[in-house]
Amino acid sequence: MTQPTTQLRLALEWTPNTNHTGFYVAEAKGYYAASGLEVIITTPEQDNYQLSPAKQLAEQRVELAVAPSES
């Protein structure tokens, strides 16, 4: 039986770097899909750095954000 897929949007605070390795490894190894998740990873350059990850989270554009603590 196939489990339903839940979409999760994740905003990163900068271009992909070593702080984000775990997110990309989990995606590459299929961990998200195996758990019924479709994780959409966004980076700031996609909107020309107009909205910070914290702002995207506050506006409910994403469900999860990696952001500096002062955000």
**What pLDDT was estimated at residue 45?**
87
pTM: 0.86
Phi, psi of 54, deg, nearest 5: -60, -40
Residues 13-71: tens digit of each pLDDT: 988 889 999 999 999 999 999 999 999 999 988 888 899 999 999 999 999 999 888 87
Q: How many residues does the chain have?
A: 71
Give the pairing type, strands 37-42 and 6-11.
parallel
